Chain A
């Protein structure tokens, strides 16, 4: 059932022209960033070559590129999560799901996975572009993989927040602005907190991505993403249940 709902979500996304437009525009933006980073790398490469242990293309091109994508995601994910439940409510299609033999858990996980798969597809362009570097140089596959994993976990946590906020309202725009406010708020609180051990650092997903970005696989960071996503998904399930109670 979860798979069926996820597939429906994907089908609806790909049936909308706006999705294709965003997909195309993003590939253009990703390519622009990639080429800009590559150009900067090529310019400083002669100087780098003189160092005893010069940084490779992966750390100078790929890692900053992944960091940029992570920042872009913060603005991008709310644009997609806003529809998930708020639009079903507004179009009154939610009654179909509520009257079908499904639990709130099915609905939430179906939508979560559907959008996660879509966003993964949307971002495939990034590693593909970066792997073209393998034609001319050796890549650090470990660093690439840790970045990809980090990006996926980060996306999952953003989608979970967006899904929950979408479950709170009937207005997709309100859901988008709400999710954007929460995600940007967490980020600003993180970069604004001066103290090293400030709790704002701990609750910011982007902060936990930094280790992945540097190629460090920390189970603590992975656990944070899993817990962060789980909390918001559970809240969303709870909200759907309340939908039956409060109407």
Chain B
């Protein structure tokens, strides 16, 4: 756990995934260190969500290996998954439960003891701005609040690896700002990997950027390097489009 070099919390090697004959993810490798926030960019259908599903054990790769904090996710899934927090594209909410009941259930599901779960619940509600809605039924909350509950369930057990699939979708600008700050804060202690379409988000939050195109990783560098890609500093969006178009 200790040492000069930051610990590698997530490492995936040569991930390949097919659905029938269609190859969705092709020989993808990535690594994530503790304290790092990684943005996964790409057009619709580039294979981002499939990649994240594989990293969280929801989907098995056809080939490749995944290690979470040194534990093989494919051989010891139960042990490895205890270190993961995952927010899928659609937040996995039991709409009939109250926010408190739901988050307590999730904390216990991820292996927390009842006493610790209660403390974690209070802290997570405060971090995600859910103090006022603890007793409300999730189905009655607005989409923004539901998204926050979704993020809360991914972080309540203080996982080492946090995987967020488009976490700011459906939020208003001030909520987006709050969530970005939260991701930045989470990135101090854990590793965060999230997919997004918003380039501004990458710029303000991520340490590193991966760009996916048709299932392949076509770019892996720091956010600053993407901003000055091809010697034209400043225009993240143009550089992204240029990059993805030249690879087509």
Rounded to whole angstroms, the CA-CA distance of A244 and B54 in the bound complex is 9
Interface size of A in residues (CB-CB distance below 8 Å):
24
Q: Which residues of B contact A99 (CB under 8 A)?
A: 56-58, 81, 84, 86, 88
Find the B residue at minimum CB distance from A106.
Answer: B78
The interface of chain A, by Cβ under 8 A from chain B, is 1, 4-5, 8, 11-12, 15-16, 91-103, 244-245, 247
Q: Which residues of B contact A244 (CB under 8 A)?
A: 57-60
Q: Which B68-114 residues have a C-beta within 8 angstroms of A? A: 77-82, 84, 86, 88-90, 92-97, 101, 105-106, 108-111
The answer to whether A103 touches B78, judged by C-beta atoms less than 8 angstroms apart, is: yes
The answer to whether B88 touches A101, judged by C-beta atoms less than 8 angstroms apart, is: no
Q: Which residues of A contact B137 (CB under 8 A)?
A: 15
Interface centre among A4, A5, A94, A99 (most CB of B within 10 A): A99
Q: Which B13-34 residues have a C-beta within 8 angstroms of A? A: 19
The answer to whether A102 touches B94, judged by C-beta atoms less than 8 angstroms apart, is: no
Q: Which residues of B contact A247 (CB under 8 A)?
A: 19, 53, 59
The residue that A100 contacts in the complex, of B19, B59, B79, B81, with Cβ under 8 A, is B81
The answer to whether B78 touches A96, judged by C-beta atoms less than 8 angstroms apart, is: no
The residue that A95 contacts in the complex, of B78, B92, B94, with Cβ under 8 A, is B92
The answer to whether B92 touches A92, judged by C-beta atoms less than 8 angstroms apart, is: yes
A-B contact count (CB 8 A): 76
Q: Which residues of B contact A12 (CB under 8 A)?
A: 94, 96-97
B153 on the interface (CB 8 Å rule)? Answer: yes
The answer to whether B81 touches A96, judged by C-beta atoms less than 8 angstroms apart, is: no
Nearest Cβ distance between residue B123 and chain A, in whole angstroms? 20
Rounded to whole angstroms, the CA-CA distance of A38 and B79 in the bound complex is 57
The residue that B109 contacts in the complex, of A1, A91, A103, with Cβ under 8 A, is A1
Q: Which residues of A contact B96 (CB under 8 A)?
A: 12, 15-16
The answer to whether A101 touches B58, judged by C-beta atoms less than 8 angstroms apart, is: no
Find the A residue at minimum CB distance from B165.
Answer: A95
Interface centre among B57, B96, B109 (most CB of A within 10 A): B109
Find the B residue at minimum CB distance from A4.
Answer: B108
The residue that A15 contacts in the complex, of B82, B88, B97, B106, with Cβ under 8 A, is B97
**Extra 4 A-B pairs, beta carbons < 8 Å, given A95-B92, A96-B109:** A93-B93, A96-B106, A101-B81, A247-B59
Known: A96-B153, A98-B57, A99-B84. A8 touches B78 (CB 8 A): no
The answer to whether A98 touches B93, judged by C-beta atoms less than 8 angstroms apart, is: no
Q: Which residues of A contact B89 (CB under 8 A)?
A: 92
CB-CB nearest 3 A-B residue pairs: A96-B92, A15-B96, A93-B92
Rounded to whole angstroms, the CA-CA distance of A244 and B101 in the bound complex is 28
Nearest Cβ distance between residue B9 and chain A, in whole angstroms? 16
The answer to whether B97 touches A95, judged by C-beta atoms less than 8 angstroms apart, is: no
Interface centre among A93, A98, A102 (most CB of B within 10 A): A98
Find the B residue at minimum CB distance from A241.
Answer: B60
Nearest Cβ distance between residue A105 and chain B, in whole angstroms? 10
Rounded to whole angstroms, the CA-CA distance of A43 and B242 in the bound complex is 90
Q: Which residues of B contact A94 (CB under 8 A)?
A: 92
Nearest Cβ distance between residue A110 and chain B, in whole angstroms? 10
Q: Which residues of B contact A16 (CB under 8 A)?
A: 96
Rounded to whole angstroms, the CA-CA distance of A99 and B110 in the bound complex is 9
Q: Which residues of A contact B19 (CB under 8 A)?
A: 247
Nearest Cβ distance between residue B76 and chain A, in whole angstroms? 10
The answer to whether A95 touches B58, judged by C-beta atoms less than 8 angstroms apart, is: yes
